[in-house]
Amino acid sequence: MNSSDRPGEPSFIQEGAARFHVGNAFFRPQTRVVRDLGVLMAALHRQQTGRLRVLDAMAGCGVRSLRYWQESGADWLWVNDGNPDIHPTLNANLRSMLQAGRGQVTQEEANRVFFTCHLKKDYYDLVDVDGFGAATPHLSTCLWATAIGGLIYLTSTDGRTATGHLPTQSLRSYAAYARSHPAAHEQGLRLLLGSLQQQAAARNLGIRPLFSLFTGETYRVMVRLLPKPMLTDQTYGFLGYCHGCGEYQTLSWRRLGRVSCPACDRPPTLTGPLWLGSLHDPATLTTLIDLADQWQWSDRAHLLRLMAAEATMPPYFYLLGDIGKQGQMDIPKRSHLIQALQTQGYRATPTHIHAEAIKTDASLAICVAIARSITRPLPSSD
């Protein structure tokens, strides 16, 4: 909601408890859901640990910092943005925080800030890295500023690389070869997590994904930094997709020399290495749902419940359109297909990543067979 105190003055925007000017900073109202989930997670960390020190490395107009202070109860904020043109707006928006002695505003390149934190052993409970494009320049350096047990909230908007349209670029960005397939947006989250996990392991550390969100063109992952590596054959490997029959499979490094589609024996296209473990931590989501309900954020609680349902599902999904195409039939209603799969003993759920897809431990062929039993075939073209 926009408002203005007096005619001729720049209008304010209200988001949550924050009231701010955008000025000439970049701001997308459509990504409020990303900021809402960050505020919830920060508030939960504050409740669980009794402290919350936030580093907002690319603050823009400062709306996230304002909300971490006003809604999450941050004790201290280091608010930084490297663009000198937006600093008058940033300082104006954060005036009350600065006057209260609750933070500082700087104008530095983000990696310089991370290095300063490491050099001074000034580690933060939440490091928010909301960059534009690939997250590559900050994948390793954001670890320098994060306390063990602290949170990293990382962004990528480089969808073409993550979804397999630029596989050579994906090698440079993620040290992984990305291929295109129907579940490629989930792949974008998993490439980001896998690369961050590998960078942590190189320092003998690990990360646990708490939640992973794809919305519009934005990939956002919230992870906790752990004192030991988390890479295993089960959590870090390759995703295979068969363009012949549409089936997926996961593969460890040891199986790369003998790969074929289990359904049709064709060679699949492989993406990887990437994170194959859970996108979300169910226990964390349960507590976030409780907090969202307390705050009467019903839309966010609904999203979190959807994410909780998909947390333990395989690392891919099936599009309803592909199920209909494979079976040469009308596309079934998603809820009907999910119920039918569950009745047959399979796990199945919607996914927040795509409104016309399901996640399930059934194969595509089984999905087609069950869908055919609850819908009608397409009329013949003869």
Q: For residue 380, is pLDDT > 90? A: no
If pLDDT is split at 50, 70 and 90, which confidence band does 375 have? confident
- How do residues 57-103 score in pLDDT, each as one tens digit? 999 999 999 999 999 999 999 999 999 999 999 999 999 999 999 99
Fold of 317-382: Phenylalanyl-tRNA Synthetase; Chain B, domain 1 (3.30.56)
pLDDT for 187 = 97
Contacts of residue 99, Cβ cutoff 8 Å, sequence gap at least 6: none
CA distances from 18 to 96, 215, 233 (A): 11, 22, 44
Q: Is the dihedral of CA 4, 5, 7, 11 positive or negative?
A: negative
Quickly state the pLDDT bin for 10 (edges 50, 70, 90).
Answer: low
Joined together, the tokens standing for residue 72 give 């999450």
Residue type, 137: P
| Stretch 151-163: mean pLDDT | 95
Which pLDDT score, from 0 to 100, does residue 258 have? 81
Q: What percent of the chain has pLDDT over 90?
A: 88
Nearest-angstrom CA–CA distance, 247 and 125: 41
C-alpha to C-alpha distance for 298 and 208, rounded to whole angstroms: 26
**279 CB-contact burial (10 Å; exposed 0-12 / middle 13-18 / buried 19+):** buried
What CA–CA distances, in Å, run from 87 to 52, 76, 79, 94?
A: 24, 19, 11, 10
| Residue appearing with tokens 């705050």 | 295
The model's pTM:
0.94
Segments of the chain assigned to CATH 3.30.56.70:
317-382
Q: What angle do CA 234, 192, 246 make, to 5 degrees?
A: 65
* pLDDT above 70 (res 233): yes
Q: Which value, to the nearest 10 degrees, does the dihedral of the CA atoms of residues 40, 74, 62, 66 take? A: 80
Q: What is the pLDDT of residue 12?
A: 87
Nearest alpha-carbon partner for 9 in 67, 70, 92, 91: 92
Strands (E), 166-234: 206-215, 218-226
Contact 226, 201 (CB under 8 A): no
Distance of CA 259 to the CA centre of its chain: 29
Instruction: Tell me the β-bridge partners of 374.
Output: none
Is residue 3 pLDDT above 50, yes or no? no
Two tokens at 8?
């001729």
pLDDT tops 60 at residue 4? no
| pLDDT reading at 381 higher than 80 | no
User: Range(s) for CATH 3.40.50.150 in the chain?
Assistant: 2-233
Residue by residue, DSSP assigns 118-137 as HHHT--EEEEEE--SS-SGG
Report whether 70 contacts 43 (CB < 8 A).
no
DSSP string, 88-155: HHHHHHTHHHHHTT-EEEE---HHHHHHHHHHHT--EEEEEE--SS-SGGGTTGGGGGEEEEEEEEEE
376: alpha, beta or left, given left = phi > 0 and alpha = psi -120 to 50? beta
Q: Does domain 2-233 have CATH number 3.40.50.1820?
A: no
Identify the pLDDT of residue 186: 98
Residues 150-156 have a mean pLDDT of 97
pLDDT of residue 190: 98
Place of tokens 């012949």: 244
Residue with tokens 């994170």: 275
Of 100, 152, 102, whose CA–CA distance to 124 is shortest? 152
- CA count, 13 A, side-chain hemisphere, 347: 11
> Distance between CA atoms of 142 and 347, rounded to whole angstroms?
37
Q: 376 falls in which pLDDT band (50, 70, 90)?
A: low
Average pLDDT across the chain, whole number: 94
